[in-house]
Amino acid sequence: MSDCPVKPHFLDQALFLLPPAVESDAHAAMRCDAALFQQTIGEGKNLARFYTWSTPVKTIGYFQGKRNPIPEAASRQTGGGLVEHGEDVTFAIAIASQEEFSKRSSQERYCLLHQALRDALTNIGMDVSLVPMDGAAGTIGPCFSNPVPGDVRCDRTGKKIAGGAQRRTGGAVLHQGTVRLAPESRDPAAAWIMDFLGRIGRVQSI
């Protein structure tokens, strides 16, 4: 199957959105994502932040970074392969432990978020779909060269345009994701972002 059955606004509590940002230092950006997650763990708030990059940078999943460190790549809190940033919108969404979402399986959580993302991108005229959830798992390597079940792909080219990885700590969930987009859609305050988050829960900007 390619979709998970889901009601809209599947978070019970508000989702607080931080101001958009433009980052230049991958290590600093990953520290901000980590701090966001720690705040969610400590305070029980659902939090999200979106940002773009003023210069090309690289990040790598925590476990791959431990096995095969790349000096110029900042380590993410979550898993996954090497991501070359610069033509993408990057985001972190931290969901509190008391949410039903956080109690679901990792596959279901990934699917739910990417369904919402797919639908928001479709609303701005992009022809996208999810890699089937019963498809083959990706191999180790650069993130955008290795689509996995639940990733978002372009229907015209078949290429992956959005992926992410998750971590669950103390029952709370951190999702770190990235979406490769044309420059005109790459604003971290673009309308598709509010559409995406609005499909997840009640959004409050802070």
Question: What are the structure tokens assigned to 96, written together?
Answer: 């509190």
Ranges in the chain, pLDDT < 50: 1-2, 136, 138-141
Give the C-alpha separation, 85 to 82, whole Å.
10
Q: Looking at residue 138, what is its pLDDT?
A: 45
Residues 6+ apart with CB under 8 A from 42: none
Q: What is the rounded distance in angstroms from the CA atom of residue 121 to the CA atom of residue 125?
A: 7
Please name every residue paired with 91 in a beta bridge, in sequence order, or none if there are none.
Answer: 50, 177
Q: Which fold has domain 15-205?
A: BirA Bifunctional Protein; domain 2 (3.30.930)
pLDDT at 7: 54
Neighbours of 6 (CB within 10 A): 16
Residue 73's DSSP bridge partners are 58
pLDDT of residue 58: 96
Q: What is the pLDDT of residue 173?
A: 98
Of all helices (H) and strands (E), which one includes residue 115? helix 106-122
Q: How many residues does the chain have?
A: 206
114-159 per-position pLDDT tens digit: 999 999 999 999 999 999 977 545 444 466 777 888 999 999 999 9
Sequence ranges of the domains in the chain: 15-205
Residue 133, judged by CB atoms within 10 A of its CB (0-12, 13-18, 19+), counts as middle
Q: For 74, phi and psi rounded to 5 degrees?
A: -80, 140
